[in-house]
Structure 1
């Protein structure tokens, strides 16, 4: 692991910038339950850059209103940013709103029957990459001396979604007794003197109030949370998704026009708690000494306070990342994989001949893509592993951890519980999304998330040991960040 080494005269400088990444109406949104392209825009999608300058290498945090990116697409985005601003440590987090388009890597559009959609999706991704580079440069150029404060609050806008149905099987529903993380992480950046720069709001919950049949382009509840935070603070707000693999909105997935109202309600609740915390994080003028005045009508005194400028020290700014190689599940036997592929092709041909509805065709085509991918992996005859990046950023006694997966909330809670930092924000959906990573206990229970690698077009999924290994690696990264002060 390597760290940014701060020069002796380093001081924290912070900049923020934003681009609108709303796709054209008509581009189909993510998911195989869609019946047609998008129809309207609820709220614009945002791509927001936060530049942290306190060492030799800038740290760039990018908060994106996207459902997911592959690690390979993140590599392209990082390369474009670095080409524009020079070497940088880049942290890319997606909000995971389901009312946004899937990236090209998801292969959700059929090149034979949806050539226009394929072209739109590829053009959209290229524009996102270009805008990421552009706003990163603007954020770096506009960085100014800053002070930082951070803390946490509590609000419940999410519910554990692993519900046991009447038949004993798990479904994506509501489990009010399941584990959630009600913690709202808030980071405040101000100019020296008081002018707001940026506010980071961190929370763990799927932004999928607007269901898979909605035709609205939207950041979901994240949009309302961001808008309300900005109106009340004057700061540019970034939403960072936490560990939401098994957490859905408290209102559930909502059908019809009620979805927009419910998304706005939950986002406003989240923002109001974030703003409450924000207001107490940084003081620019503090009470210095007391003065007394004699009352003219009695022997009592009236007291008041004289204020002075608060003193702020520059925090240690450090960034590191490490890669851990983790095993994937065993692949099926060659004959089993071949049979699965043949069955998928047969089913796909049948639904096309029957002129089935779009969702049926999309699901059937996706099954063909995945079984073909798995069969190819089987024929290569190699043991499958996955290289997983765990990235850490330190700003004083604040730490941010990013992992490229839909982590179950318990994994983030374990990392945070073992952290040496006063505030620790653990984010899945960062620097790509491989698939869901459930806890070891969840593997025994089963459910949708266990086989999610199929939807993410990965030939095999994680094993139960991923939980322990990712927690251990996250804690190692935090320990290394905690030692970074010696580099100042």
Structure 2
């Protein structure tokens, strides 16, 4: 935890209703590593996400789908614990925030409509619920991005280092690096997929790596007022995507990632280009 850094705590909640207005499901997009629990916990656990879903599903009577946001540098304030009660407390905290946002939504098919002003001590604007037909626009695109890699040793070189290494911590890191190099190949670039969907007035972007939160904050700022959901670690994984300015720091994300500086910015530009294209009128 770094109290000097600002963390993106944006919560995006979607509600799925049937024609009668009954809730059929909720979608929760939030960015935080599920790392409340660590080595002292010997149970299989969904971490904070489990209690979040239980809280929401108990109140709504409908399934809850969780989408992990761009959380490359975001984690619980207290983490690496063996106390499952701590993970459940975090989950309930998030779940109650989801229920609060659901409670603030208007009924399905309704919006506030301006009815005029009533003259009093000041002109009073009158807004009432009125019928609303949401957009049914549905578009999607997948694009493969050629992401530049750092100057990495080849797979054969990594395996030779691993075989000669006697330090168990270093050996574990080399084994992880081996897995990444094996999946990406020995080239200077790696093909990484990006999916972008337009769902009515909302946008959804997903990609395989651990992008830092700049990915989602930059997309939301550029695509406002659209609701923008972002998903990390979609259909695979290779490494972190920190901002280019972080590559001068001595941090795990920087030396773990196989991607060269500028990868996050390339991903963001590509996602914005696709989003603008999907938003153009037919």
Q: Which residue of 1 aligns with 2:273?
A: 476
Matches of 1:287 and 1:324, distance apart in 2: 39
> Does the aligned pair in 2 maintain the 1:186–1:277 contact within 8 Å?
yes
SS of the residue corresponding to residue 431 of structure 1 reads: coil
Instruction: Give the alignment of 1:22-101 within 5 angstroms.
Output: none
C-alpha RMSD over aligned residues: 3.0
Q: Could you give the per-residue CA deviations for residues 222-277 of structure 1, whole angstroms, max 9, x where no partner exists? A: 001111011112221001000111111022221x3xx2111111111111111111
Cα displacement (A) at 1:282: 4.0
Q: How does 1:145-184 map to 2 (within 5 A)?
A: 174-184=1-11
Distance 1:280 1:414 in 2: 26
Q: Are residue 345 (structure 1) and residue 166 (structure 2) matched?
A: no
CA distance in 2, matches of 1:313, 1:369: 46
- Taking a change above 3 Å as real, the CA distance of residues 472 and 313 of structure 1, as seen in their structure-2 partners, is closer
* Distance change (3 Å), C-alpha of 1:437 and 1:372: closer
Q: Quickly say closer, same or farther: Cα 1:368–1:399, change in 2 above 3 A.
A: closer
Q: Cα–Cα, structure 1 residues 345 and 479, in superposed 2: closer, same or farther, change >3 Å?
A: same
Offset of residue 414 of structure 1: 1.4
Show the 5 A alignment for 1:435-450.
435-450=239-254
Contact 1:391–1:477 (8 Å) recurs in 2: no
| Superposition pairs of residues 106-125 of structure 1, within 5 angstroms | none
Q: 1:391 aligns with which of 195, 208, 226?
A: 195
Structure 1, unaligned runs of 5 or more: 1-173, 289-306, 352-359, 454-460
In the alignment, the residues of structure 2 paired with residue 373 and residue 388 of structure 1 have an alpha-carbon distance, to the nearest angstrom, of 13
Residue of structure 2 equivalent to 1:266: 90
Is the CA contact 2:32–2:71 (under 8 Å) kept in the aligned structure 1? Answer: yes
In 1, Cα distance between equivalents of 2:270 and 2:189: 16
| Residue correspondence of structure 1 range 405-420 to structure 2 within 5 A | 405-420=209-224
Gapped runs of 5+ residues in structure 2?
113-127
* Matching residue within 120, 124, 148 for 1:327: 148
2:42 to 198, 215, 223: 215
Distance in 2 between residues matched to 1:432 and 1:268, nearest whole Å: 29
Alpha-carbon separation, structure 1, partners of 2:189 and 2:79: 35
The CA deviation at 1:311 is 4.5
Q: Which residue does the alignment assign to 2:124?
A: none
Going from structure 1 to structure 2, the CA distance change for 1:370 and 1:440 (only over 3 Å counts) comes to closer
